[in-house]
With several copies, the nearest count.
Chain A
Amino acid sequence: MALQELTYRDALRQALIDSMRENPDVIIMGEEVGRYGGAYAVTKELIKEFGAERVIDTPISEPAIIGAAVGAAMAGLRPVAELMYVDFIGMTMDQLGNQAAKIRYMFGGQIGVPMVLRTQGGTGRSAGAQHSQSLEAYVMHTPGLRLAMPATVSDAYHLLRMALTKPDPVVFIEHKALYTMKETVDLDAEPLAWGKSAVRREGKDLVIVTYSRQLHYVMEAAKKLSTDGIEATVIDLRTLNPLDFDTIREHVERAGRAMVVSESVMTAGVAAELSARITEECFDYLEDPVVRVAGEDIPISVSTALETGSVPGPQLILETARKLLGARVAA
């Protein structure tokens, strides 16, 4: 179809609309998803088309929202449970980690839990320690949960559409700083498959693996590196479970150097997994240790300067890449 300019928010919204039109079993439930249209307006006016029986405003009861979605999924619906902030995932980790993630296995494969938990995370709004986190590592560490984190408008649409066809629970984490980002997209063009990472840029010197908002910082840094004569390959994971390690391996073996960039707290976070895995699988090809650029091991402040300083930004990524290459050049 035609190219169109869309925001990340609109793409998500369109994905919900198209999925709901296609499949009458898709329902949305969460706080303020209906009349209010979603705290970040992703479900704006959906209640008009689909009604309050399919776009369900809930009380402020995160554990039961996720638990209800589990039951709905087992009983034949395709629920999208919205968690207003990923920061609230803590109160749902029992329903998510002990129920949704394990039901298929515990019950010997009798049934799956095809639900989507849609939420958003990350810094960018001076929202403080309890509304700015990147908690995807909790999810990645929980077997049984799929994890998608779109960085682009096109992926916002396609990954959500695909998530709504998957047989297993998908945690779908948007980034609050991306909602207004625009892109010209053709939603009918064949998307990259679910579980495949996207090579957003190719270069021989260095591989940078990232996802979600950090992709944009990485691309910005990569452009500047290019003017220094350093060419980076940039891999956008798109889904962290499944993890497309083949693409990473292929490129790291070629470049011999890798960096991983993640907004989640460094210790025992996503970057740790990627770094460990790259090292295990590509050790003989690595000229330098895999470098992690990740969130600081601290809570996030409401103060803008401290908030910004708590997570990677283009400058830190750029400097780290320069040092990584410079270190060897100098040595």
Chain B
Amino acid sequence: MTKPEAIHAASARPNTDLPQLYRTMRRIRTFEERVGELFVRGQSAGSMLHLSIGEESAAAGFCAHMQDGDTFTTHHRGHGIFLARGADPNRMMAEIGGKEAGYCRGKGGSMHIADMGLGHLGANAIVGGGIPAIIGAGLAARHHGTGKISVAFFGDGATGQGILYESMNMAALWRLPCVFVCINNQYGMGTRIDQATANAVLHERAHAFGLAAETVDGLDVEAVAEAAERLVAGAREGRPAFLVVDCYRFYGHARKDKSPYRDATEEETGRRKDPVAFARAALLERGLADAAELDALDAQIDAEMDATIDFTIAQTEPPLSTMFRDVYAPEEPEPEPVRTRIDRILARA
């Protein structure tokens, strides 16, 4: 765990905007708390809601060095990343509620959220499923000479998926402008990382494939941002990279999981690795903000995120008429509903 001196040393950091990073993290934290509330109020679409509380530094720190036009994919625990890339929390929450006003018109939900405008090529309910897409996006960026990068965010559990290694190999071979960001929250559902692999120093694998690779302590959002800055700059020049952000999953895997498989002491220690609290302390310590200012900011964020729930509840589910839409492109005929087909057949018979 980073010690107080680290905070001090960090005050000399030139390229990070800690107030801004704090704000982003605090918005994520609060948004996720509201997602939990949406579920408790029975207003979420299902219970497959994976909160990124404890991992805010990965999202805020890394995304601080992404640009407009950069693309990315996320995993099932990707709300924070999307927010950090500029998502509208109302449309996000509406999607999580399965409402038509959501980013994906209520068809995708928490695990299938995307926005092409913001370069979000999609969250994924398949562990590792979104990773190879950044290879293609990286090829496209190079092909079109955009200078943009493509980033895959995923959990430590995805290191079990072979497609990660296939993708890393391609990125290194083709020197693509790609970054792999592994958010190591120590768990894949109930499995602790050391129960899923014999060598939990995950970045060594990336290194063996020829990528620039390192691990950073997710307690310190500035450290994440600094690593991101370095790796992103390299990636833009064709040196793909792999970054592990070490953190702790504060709560259960999904909304209903109470984490019976880990003990209270571990959880308590784990939750001390709180990047939001750490950043807040650093802001105060370094005199970058005073308590009153931060309280005001927090209150403003609370209000913003409270509103997402009201917004979502007020929205409607997608009408049944949209069910057959978007299976294929709009100019193509929609698939024939079973009911229509049956009626046609039996009318004929």
Contacts and interface: CB of A to CB of B under 8 A. Distances in A.
Contacts, number: 323
A301 B107 CA distance: 4
B338 interface: yes
Contacts of B140: 71-72, 75-77
A189 to B, nearest CB: 25
B46 interface: yes
Interface in B326-349: 326-333, 335-339, 341-349
A59 B132 CA distance: 13
B339 A316 contact: yes
B238 to A, nearest CB: 13
A125 B48 CA distance: 9
29 contacts: A31-B189, A32-B190, A35-B190, A59-B170, A60-B188, A61-B162, A61-B169, A63-B132, A69-B136, A70-B132, A71-B140, A99-B130, A103-B122, A106-B107, A110-B104, A128-B46, A128-B125, A131-B48, A167-B331, A168-B328, A283-B348, A284-B348, A297-B335, A298-B327, A301-B98, A302-B106, A302-B109, A306-B106, A306-B317
Given A25-B143, A60-B157, A309 B320 contact: yes
Nearest to A168: B328
B160 interface: yes
Nearest to B345: A280
A152 interface: no
Contacts of B261: 35-36
A103 B114 CA distance: 9
Interface of A: 25, 27, 29, 31-32, 35-36, 39, 53-54, 56-61, 63-64, 66-77, 79, 87-88, 91, 94-95, 98-99, 103-112, 125-131, 143-144, 146, 167-168, 242, 266, 280-281, 283-284, 288-289, 291-299, 301-306, 309-310, 312, 316, 319-320, 323-324, 327-328, 331
Contacts of A68: 132-133, 135-136, 139, 167, 170
A129 B143 CA distance: 32
A176 to B, nearest CB: 11
B41 interface: no
A59 B328 contact: no
Contacts of A71: 73, 121, 132-140, 150
B191 A32 contact: yes
A105 B160 CA distance: 28
Contact of B170 (A64, A94, A293): A64
A117 B121 CA distance: 20
Contact of A95 (B129, B325, B346): B129
B108 A60 contact: no
A60 B161 contact: yes
A59 B107 contact: no
B191 A31 contact: yes
Given A71-B134, A289-B349, A292-B342, 18 more contacts: A36-B261, A54-B143, A59-B166, A63-B132, A67-B131, A70-B132, A71-B138, A75-B140, A112-B329, A126-B98, A128-B111, A129-B108, A291-B346, A301-B109, A304-B45, A306-B107, A320-B346, A327-B346
Nearest to A281: B345
Most buried by A among B130, B324, B343: B324
A106 B112 contact: yes
B3 interface: no
A63 B163 contact: yes
Given A125-B47, A167-B331, A310-B323, A293 B338 contact: yes
B320 to A, nearest CB: 6
Contacts of A57: 191, 195
B189 A126 contact: no
Contacts of B224: none
A159 B342 CA distance: 31
Contact of A289 (B135, B322, B345): B345
Given A32-B189, A109-B326, A303 B317 contact: yes
